Amino acid sequence: MALREIVIAPNPVLKRPADPVRSVDSDVRTLLDDMLETMYAAPGIGLAAPQIAISQRLVVIDAAGKDEEPDPMRMVNPELVWKSDEMQKLEEGCLSLPEQWGDVVRHSAIKVAWLDENGIRREREATGLLSACIQHEIDHLDGILFVDHMSALKRNMILRKLAKWKKSKAKEDA
């Protein structure tokens, strides 16, 4: 397994729809393992392939709490097959927008279908944080960032803060 570099917004790969994965093979399994390692190291609870500059429909998620057993999900070509009418508002962040947070309204319950790392079709219902995380990561596969769900004013405030963060980070690294 290997740590991958996480792409920071703005970056064109984050704004374009990712390509479907044609077959689940050893290269895809290795990439999913690398993505999990990268996500845990960041640390985060979800990571989509476009966030490591790979435009493929791959997602890894582990929304288990600190006192819970890890529950990693490796998802190939995930799709929402059902969404509740009820909505929830949760504060979200993103590894591609470091140190930026904002409230996002999403479906409170979903059902997602995907292929696992062995090419087997899986389905799972999710609520709460896991539901929001899955929707957030699938958004990445469609070229949508969490700030795209906010008003232009809030989105621009976050993007300006991110630009300042990037400048200060560049000074630190120099």
Pairing of strands 109-115, 73-83: antiparallel
Token digits for 146?
A: 């969490």
Query: Among 37, 69, 79, 137, which one carries the catalytic annotation?
Result: 137
Torsion over CA: 66, 99, 157, 6 (sign): negative
Residues 6+ apart with CB under 8 A from 67: none
Q: How far apart are CA 38 and CA 47, in angstroms?
A: 8
Q: Is 137 a catalytic residue?
A: yes
Name the residues annotated as catalytic: 137
